[in-house]
Amino acid sequence: MSLASLVTGFVRRHWKAYAASAVMLVGVAVCSILVPRKVGAMIDGLAAHTLSQRDLMIGIAELLALGVAIYVLRVCWRIRLYSAAYRLGVELRMRLYARLSAQGPAFYQKQRTGDLMALGTNDIDAIEMAAGEAMLAGFDGTLTLVMVLGVMLLGVDYRLALIALLPFPLMGLAFWYISRHIHTAETDSLKRFSDLNDQVQESLSGVRTLRALGLEARSAAQFGELAGKASAASLAAQKWEAAYEPAVGLTLTAASTLTLGLGGYLVWQNQLTIGALTSFTMYLGQLIWPMFAAGWVLSLIERGRAGLARLQPMLDAPLTVVDEGRLDAIQDGPLVLRDVSFTYSSASQPALDKVSVALRPGMTLGLVGPTGAGKSTLLRVLLRQAEPQQGTVTWGGHPLPDYRLAALRAATSWVPQESFLFSASIAENIALARPGASRLEVEEAAKMAAIHDDILRFPQGYDTPVGEKGITLSGGQRQRVAIARSLLADSSLLLLDDALSAVDTGTETNILEHLNELRASRPELTAIIASHRLSAVVNADLIVVLKNGRVVESGSHDTLLELDGWYASQWRYQQLEASIDAS
């Protein structure tokens, strides 16, 4: 979509606001045109001694009235037009946010957070200015130019008008040359701002790591370098924008010189009055705004084009997970994976290789295996964050793509390895899945996650703000708050992706006991626990051992011990490690 089609479509939908602004702009132009004409008539009357004192006072009052009318109309059309143009910014930001919200992890692996933030701020601001400031400046400038030229040609003297227009083609050529360079400079400026934004976001998110490694000076140097490049790029764009003013100034100076030369001769020959020459000179001065408006409009349009060129690919980016399902609720039945295979685009080996697992409602599955075995990938497939290249996943007899993503996510509670908390209170973070939950329900979920006592030790208790990404809490506390959040949700499938890695064995045992109690009260709840700590899956109905994306062992805890394979070996090692730590 081009900038012209985008703005045209927006203007068509909000035509009333633009039409009202246009009517007021016409009023401004008419009032502006009347001022020089009125002044010229008064000067001729004074020169001929035909203007009485009463007529002079009336004329001055009329000029004051025209000035007040111009002021009021300008304020009104700006309010009316800008209020409409800001809606375009809101619409674009909502479209961008909706698109980004629907994208899967594969999309974000290729994007930078700071860059996406810059698109939603600086780039959309540039498009918004093109729909608002450029539209009004273009319309106002064009209307003023046409009316002033018309009065100069037909109402004053066509000879002066023609000679005054001689330098204008050269100005148009200069504008064309400048606008080409502005587009290139603005594109570079937006990109440099995006790089700077990304650096700031990463530095603030990883400020603890930077301090721990003593990299503050290095980070500051990188920031200074990017800030310098952003400043230089912005300055380059401003330099080209500043080139419009000399072009306008030279053109009007040349036009004024030609006008005064010919006008003086015509006055000397008694072919033109002094009042008419004064009026013409004032009209020529009114051409300053249309000329500046032309340069300003071209600059804003080039900024808008550069911003849209960066924004459009994000709005058109295909969804990494397509939501075309028709079922609005999960059907009762088993959760089955049949020969599921998945390979990341950047990998040569499959993360999952013909994995088959069947779970009846209410079962608990334990996923174990060495690092990189495919445990987290399997959970991502169940969440439809990744689509398998081969095989099928069915739930209740229907393939997962048959369900709407909203229905699938509503039926699933997921606790990832790195728990994310929002900058809100502890209670609000726990109640995120059920905003209407009572404080008692929130506390019960916190008790099941073994975090209740920790929360009470905070000065503000459940109302304690956790800071951005839960920075005020320890890793284990963040995990347990996330577990409490998942337990509070009324879901059919619970996924724990190594969610107990940051807690001690005693706390882990406490959480697992509460989880068993929850399963007893909700027999339809299916749970999948991925863990490197085998004690977390001992009581699972089925344990699957993954290695290099393949299922190498499966069965209950006792069955796997009898097989004396990877699981049994790892179990003995972890038990020995636990006994050494206990001693």
**What confidence tens digit (pLDDT) does each residue in 459-480 have?**
888 888 887 666 777 777 888 8
Within a domain: 22: no
Contacts of 216 (CB under 8 A, 6+ apart): 210
Q: Of 257, 283, 316, which residue is a domain's last?
A: 316
Does 449 lie in the same domain as 394?
no
Using the predicted structure, report yes or no on whether residue 583 has a pLDDT greater than 60: no
Quick one: CA dihedral 294, 296, 302, 308, positive or negative? negative
Cα dist from 51 to 9, 56, 270, 301, 559, whole Å: 53, 6, 21, 49, 115
Does 497 lie in the same domain as 474?
no
With cut-offs at 50, 70 and 90, classify the pLDDT of residue 365: very high
- Which residues constitute the domain of residue 291? 85-316
Within a domain: 268: yes
Q: Of 266, 284, 316, which residue is a domain's last?
A: 316
The domain that holds 222 is classified in CATH as: 1.20.1560.10
Does 371 lie in the same domain as 423?
no
Q: Which of 87-96, 262-271, 416-425 has the lowest average pLDDT?
A: 262-271
Does 536 lie in the same domain as 460?
no
Using the predicted structure, report yes or no on whether residue 154 has a pLDDT greater than 70: no
Question: What confidence score (pLDDT) does residue 542 get?
Answer: 92
Within a domain: 25: no
Say how many domains are in the chain: 3
Does 186 lie in the same domain as 268?
yes
Does 162 lie in the same domain as 290?
yes
How far is it, in rounded angstroms, from Cα 462 to Cα 453? 11
Question: What confidence score (pLDDT) does residue 311 get?
Answer: 85
Q: Of 288, 316, 344, which residue is a domain's last?
A: 316
How far is it, in rounded angstroms, from Cα 366 to Cα 472? 31
**What confidence tens digit (pLDDT) does each residue in 233-283 have?**
777 777 777 777 777 778 777 777 777 776 677 767 777 667 666 666 766
- Token pair for 394: 């069915």
Q: Residue 382 burial (CB < 10 Å; 0-12/13-18/19+)?
A: buried
Does 397 lie in the same domain as 422?
no
Containing 261, the helix (H) or strand (E) segment is: helix 244-268
Contacts of 158 (CB under 8 A, 6+ apart): none
Residues pairing with 368 in the sheet: 545
Does 271 lie in the same domain as 199?
yes
Mean pLDDT computed over every residue of the chain? 79
Within a domain: 43: no
**What confidence tens digit (pLDDT) does each residue in 292-303 have?**
677 767 777 877
How far is it, in rounded angstroms, from Cα 526 to Cα 412? 10
How far is it, in rounded angstroms, from Cα 58 to Cα 64? 10
Q: Residue 545 burial (CB < 10 Å; 0-12/13-18/19+)?
A: buried
Q: Which amino acid is at 208?
A: R
Using the predicted structure, report yes or no on whether residue 490 has a pLDDT greater than 70: yes
Does 539 lie in the same domain as 444?
no
Q: What is the DSSP string of 123-163?
A: IHHHHHHHHTHHHHHHHHHHHHHHHHHHIIIIII-HHHHHH
Within a domain: 112: yes
Of the ranges 42-46, 149-153, 574-578, the best mean pLDDT one: 574-578
What percentage of the chain has pLDDT greater than the value 70? 86
- Token pair for 317: 């980016």
How far is it, in rounded angstroms, from Cα 572 to Cα 565? 11
- Token pair for 417: 């390895």
Does 124 lie in the same domain as 191?
yes
Q: Model-level pTM?
A: 0.69
How far is it, in rounded angstroms, from Cα 128 to Cα 135? 10
* Phi and psi at residue 373, to the nearest 5°: -75, -20
Question: What confidence score (pLDDT) does residue 297 get?
Answer: 77
Does 231 lie in the same domain as 115?
yes
Does 423 lie in the same domain as 370?
no
Q: Residue 568 burial (CB < 10 Å; 0-12/13-18/19+)?
A: middle
Nearest by Cα to 415 from 504, 471, 492, 480: 480
**What confidence tens digit (pLDDT) does each residue in 518-534 have?**
777 777 888 899 988 88
Containing 85, the helix (H) or strand (E) segment is: helix 53-102
Within a domain: 58: no
How far is it, in rounded angstroms, from Cα 231 to Cα 236? 9
What percentage of the chain has pLDDT greater than the value 90? 5
Within a domain: 102: yes
With cut-offs at 50, 70 and 90, classify the pLDDT of residue 509: confident
Question: What confidence score (pLDDT) does residue 90 get?
Answer: 83
Q: Are 21 and 81 in contact (CB under 8 A)?
A: yes
Q: What is the mean pLDDT of residues 154-181?
A: 73
The domain that holds 534 is classified in CATH as: 3.40.50.300
Within a domain: 6: no
